[in-house]
Amino acid sequence: MKTVKIGLLGLGTVGGGALNIIQHTLPEIERRLGQSIEVAIIAVRDLTRTRSVDTQNIPLTDNATEVVNHPDVDIVVELMGGTGLAKSLLETAIQNGKHIVTANKALIAEHGNALFALAKKHNVIISYEAAVAGGIPVIKAMREGLAANKVEWVAGIINGTGNYILTEMKKPGADFAAVLKVAQELGYAEADPTFDVEGIDAAHKLTILASIAFGIELQFNKVYTEGISQITADDIRFAEQLDYEIKHLGVASRLENGFSLRVHPTMVPKSVLIANVSGVMNAVMAFGNHVGPTMYYGPGAGAGPTASSVVADIVEVIRWKEQPIDVQVPALGFALDQLQSAPVVSIDEIETSYYLRCFAKDHVGVLAKITAILADSNISIEHLHQEPCSQEANAATLVIITNHVKESLLNTAIETLSELDDIEGDIMRIRIESLGA
């Protein structure tokens, strides 16, 4: 039986999980392939560290270049993260004719265009299923399963930390800061949670999904990104009363003048399946012009789920590695020379409904001023709720649901409302997406 040799870059949570799967599932993998897998070398940061997986018979090195230059390695599996050293190492591996498996969403989102072009030049494969949504095979599903469709939009809960926080904030007495602290204690959030709670992690993943969905180049720097740190327990409560759930969504959609790529808190009707995805789970919806809405759900992070996708990619690469690159499924689902450098429109150009919350002085004429300002911007009110403000006497909390309106018009109206002496503090705005409901 032929043996394919693997070189691992990184033996952290995912790297250890991948090695564990290979060691304990090898007979099943060999049955699928008719070939065997052997981990030939692993690059680690600290050679003295105690490992949770058995590395007794595997050479370890703290010099990662040994892996990408190793003469016997067929496939380099990059699980170290980052976009500096990882990029340089993979470029060397590709130039050496070695195939690539990676879980590095930042690397693909920010440098994928160049890496895929380099891989094609050297007739090697880059597989990256684990870079988006952990254990959910959403890349393969969208790239291959939806190939007969013109995808109109993609929307996803693609960061488990943010989804956990918003889920826990539904509990009485919970607020963002307290729930974030618990998430950090449980290991769901990093000590510096910025990438998760401010949407950067999700933006990397959305960049990849949008490219596969629409056949456009990877354009991470054009994704509008907004976090969840300003969401309050009141917003969660009002959403519940209005029959919505607040989710931190990545949304990519076709518009008449280009594409919209955005990550932000979103109110979703409870009747939509993705609204009921709770905790650290992930889900991605895609709407194809022939199939309609489809959804892919599962664990989006962790050693087991993410490593499962890594090993599945290793299996896929072994199956295809002897074939010319031109006969394989393109990395982004479209032939590399057919990817469009399509315009990504400003967030100001999107049109949707909005949830607005503000504090206002509770006296005669305030509502009339607010409705007049909205009307001047051609914004009608679909729902209005008022209740006494618990924080201040003679003040009220106002909640407004608007009609479908262009964001630029809403921005103008919010600026004018904020100038009123009767409005106190910032006006909270959350976009509403029906997602086919």
Please say if 205 is a catalytic residue.
Answer: yes
Report whether 206 contacts 156 (CB < 8 A). yes
From the list 87, 98, 140, 205, the catalytic residue is: 205
- Which pairing describes strands 36-43 and 258-269: parallel, antiparallel, or unpaired? unpaired
Find residue 361's DSSP bridge partners: 395
Known catalytic residues? 205
